[in-house]
Structure 1
Amino acid sequence: MANERMRPAISVLLLLNFFMYLILALIGGWAINKAIDHGFIIGQELQLPAHFKPIFFPIGNFATGFFVVFAVIAGVVGAASAISGFNHMRFWNYDSLQPAATTGLIAWFLTLLAMGLACKEINLEGRNAKLRTMEAFTIILSVTQFLYIAAIHGGNERMNRM
């Protein structure tokens, strides 16, 4: 567990990550809603278009659907990991460290997955400002979530002696 000097830094990272994950999930929810409202409607007598994507998004490019889905999942899990981190900040003991560290790692791995899809989407071009915001938040969150994980794992020499 991190020593007492790291608590303010961890608190700032937790607040930053929580609100950024929340914004990521909200923009992703908007994109999913737009895709549902403006998606394909295929009747029994109609055939699929030639370039049909299984996850169709009328905005963005071919990687948008996958990026948005994984970004929303990362956003929800990341917000949950921040809540677990707030619980760890409240109790600040070894038993509260384990759930905070585990959910933090899972959120970071999902964020890295979404970041890889964001990089693919950036490479393909053709996206709007809200998708660019999601991409930027995903890339920033991959760094800040790593810093949070490193901060709560750093300095656990006191716990090893117990």
Structure 2
Amino acid sequence: MVFHTLENRGQVNIEFIVAVVLLAFVLISTIIFTIRLIPASSSALEEGSIRAKANALEDVLLYSPGYPPNWTSIPAVVGLAAFNNYSNETILGGLSAQKLLMLNTTAALNYSSVKRNLSLDENTDFYLKVNSSGWGSMEYFNYTPMDTQRVVSINKLMILYNQTNGTTKINQTEANVTLLVW
């Protein structure tokens, strides 16, 4: 047990006050640091959610032929991948030129119907652009995002396939495909 004389009592009180002030400073600093960390983690979760939706949309739109696989009118499921009728397989890395043209020319395949067809929620939007030296530049659903920080961009190099009279011919140009999802 420590006995203080009258002249040392003031010193103990000052030390106590300094310790309390330092403790308060550490607590306030920790709280501020934690509060600043919370939005960063929530935006990372949102980014992960958008990226997952973008990958799912890429799989359905670019790597699936849709249903029916060789659709020529309004499909049950929109998919733009080329389909080989003889082997009954999807051509990996190939896009059907006919399906791309139908996407632009068929009035029933507007943005909202394709979005519903792909089972996208109301808060998810996308934009598709296909650039090819042989076909030029084709933009589908010319919507642009409001907030550029939440946009996932997927760029692919693919080949356009052109089917005529049941035979599949390779269009000799490569196509740069850009898919934006937000």
Same fold (TM over 0.5): no
Tell me which structure has the larger Cα radius of gyration: 2
TM-score (norm: length of structure 1): 0.31
Structure with more contact order per residue of length (Cα contacts < 8 Å, sep ≥ 6): 1
TM-score (norm: length of structure 2): 0.28
Kindly indicate which of the two structures has a greater share of residues assigned to strand: 2
